[in-house]
Amino acid sequence: MSESVLVLPKAAVLGKSHTSGWYVWRGIFTLLLLAGAYATYVRFTAGLGGVTNLSDHFPWGIWVGFDVLCGVGLAAGGFTLVAAVHIFNIERYKPIVRPAVLTAFLGYILVVVALLFDLGRPWNIWHPLIMWNPRSVMFEVAWCVTLYSTVLALEFAPAVFERLEWKRTLASLRVISIPLVIAGVLLSTLHQSSLGSLFLIVPRKLYPLWYSPMLPVMFFVSAVCAGLAMTIFESWHSSRAFGRQLEMPLLNGMARLLAVLLAVNLTIRFLDLLHRDALRLLLENRTETWLFALESALMLIPTVLLFSRRVRGNPTSLYFMALLVLFGFIANRLNVSITGMEAGSGVHYIPRWTEVAVTLAICALGFAVFRWAVLNLPVFEEKE
């Protein structure tokens, strides 16, 4: 990690004059933040009942299903790329490690922000650190997320210290970098799979197309897929937003790995249904069947097409494949946490607009901070 490699984007980008598109995005951003601010006010004055459609029979909604489960999964690109470069020593991926770590770090911060909304008593969020219950999956997730966020902060810290030119601090971080990387990969493996283990406790509530003793394994594999897809997605958008060239050979190689992992993912899902004798459920004409079909199709299309060199080689088709994987992943997490739980709990849940407003405002903030960091810190590698 020599300091001279990573620099700020060209000054030309910073000084670009504002187009009409810029004003439209700025307007949408402001609207989302205003709606989010209103929902925040109601949330913390009137309680969860004032802004959510949650109920005694349906205590977890989109703040858990989307903000937390999807947020953590989409941030999995961080540990995947860190492992590829620093453990497996695949040096050519080095240029995209830092943006992936930044995405992951921001992702985890946003997950914690979302938790502050969702927890009934958010000021007690630190309690798992001193009040232990090692039999609880939630306890393990709380510890892993806390520790891993610290690891991510330390992994991204060199970008900040390079900017500040704190050479001594940089050197001391380099000494602990390998143990840090290994700890990060282990912690990620643990909590990505544990988010699936959370649902092992509801065998009679979660619809059997999703309930499986293999949930931890499935959550881990699909999170790695989502993390890689997110890295492709974010490289594509960064290249457009900051006028950078797309690292196509790199992304091509990553898409290949993604194709293999997606195939592994689908194989596990299929074998799981087969061994649990749950394939026959696919013949039932129920909402769950169609949602399962949607989720599977979203994953199956990129799995097949990404094996084609032409699809991988074209930036636009590669981007759309990554998008399908992301949608398939989100559909899966929402099915496990929300739609798959409806029949078992006997109530129908549709998020209230204020729940959606908080989620969108948090996402918008994430994009804004990412943009700020890319413009002000050495995140992307300079093109020769």
Partner 1 sequence: MCIGCRACEQGCAQRWNLPWNETIGAEERLSAHKLTTITTHDGRYSRRLCMHCAEPTCVSVCPVGALQKTAFGPVVYDANKCMGCRYCMTACPFQVPVYEWNKRVPRVRKCDMCRDRQAAGKPTACAEACPTGATSCGDRDTLIAEAKRRMTASPNDYYPQIYGLKEVGGTSVLMLSAVPFDQLGLRTDLPGQPLPGLTWAALAHVPDVVSVGGVLLGGIWWITHRREDVARAEGGGKEPRS
- The reply on whether position 350 binds partner 1 by CB under 8 A is no
Residue placing its CB nearer to partner 1 in the complex, 54 or 311: 54
Total interface residues for partner 1 by CB under 8 A: 64
Hey, which residues between 101 and 160 contact partner 1 (CB under 8 A)?
118-122, 124-125, 127-128, 131-142
Q: Rounded distance, CA 90 to CA 74, Å? A: 22
Residue placing its CB nearer to partner 1 in the complex, 10 or 57: 57
Residue placing its CB nearer to partner 1 in the complex, 59 or 313: 59
Q: What element of type H or E holds 111?
A: helix 97-118
Phi-psi region of 342 (alpha: psi -120 to 50; beta: other; left: phi over 0): alpha
- Is 234:187 a contact under the CB 8 Å cutoff? no
Residue placing its CB nearer to partner 1 in the complex, 44 or 166: 44
Q: Which of 29, 38, 60, 166 binds partner 1 (CB under 8 A)?
A: 60
Q: Which of 345, 360, 363, 371 binds partner 1 (CB under 8 A)?
A: 345
Residue with tokens 């394939």: 279
Q: Which region, judged by CB under 8 A, interacts with partner 1, from 17-25, 38-46, 256-264, 305-313? A: 38-46
Of the candidates 380, 372, 370, which has an alpha carbon nearest to the alpha carbon of residue 245?
380
- The reply on whether position 1 binds partner 1 by CB under 8 A is yes
- The reply on whether position 348 binds partner 1 by CB under 8 A is no
Q: Output the smallest distance, CB 124 to partner 1, in A.
A: 4
Residue placing its CB nearer to partner 1 in the complex, 2 or 245: 2
Q: Which region, judged by CB under 8 A, interacts with partner 1, from 69-77, 82-90, 263-271, 363-371? A: 82-90
Would you call 90 helix, strand, or coil by DSSP? coil
* Residues forming a β-bridge with 381: 6
- The reply on whether position 282 binds partner 1 by CB under 8 A is no
Burial 251-285 (b: 16+ CB within 10 A, else e): bbbbbebbbebbbebbebbeebbeeeebeebeeee
Q: Which region, judged by CB under 8 A, interacts with partner 1, from 22-30, 43-51, 99-107, 286-294? A: 43-51
Q: What is the DSSP string of 25-78?
A: HHHHHHHHHHHHHHHHHHHHHH-HHHH---BTTB---HIIIIIIIIHHHHTTHH
- How many residues in total does the chain contain? 384
Residue placing its CB nearer to partner 1 in the complex, 322 or 336: 336
Q: Output the smallest distance, CB 375 to partner 1, in A.
A: 26
Q: Output the smallest distance, CB 27 to partner 1, in A.
A: 33
Q: Rounded distance, CA 326 to CA 291, Å? A: 16
Q: Output the smallest distance, CB 136 to partner 1, in A.
A: 5
Alpha helices in 119-136 (DSSP H): 127-130
Q: Rounded distance, CA 249 to CA 313, Å? A: 8
Q: Which of 59, 208, 253, 366 binds partner 1 (CB under 8 A)?
A: 59
Q: Output the smallest distance, CB 343 to partner 1, in A.
A: 13
Q: Rounded distance, CA 232 to CA 189, Å? A: 21
- Is 106:368 a contact under the CB 8 Å cutoff? no
Q: Which of 80, 103, 193, 335 binds partner 1 (CB under 8 A)?
A: 193
Would you call 364 helix, strand, or coil by DSSP? helix
Report the interface residues with partner 1, using CB under 8 A: 1-2, 44-50, 52, 54-57, 59-60, 83, 86-89, 118-122, 124-125, 127-128, 131-142, 174, 178, 181-182, 185-186, 189-190, 193-194, 197-198, 200-205, 213, 216, 341, 345
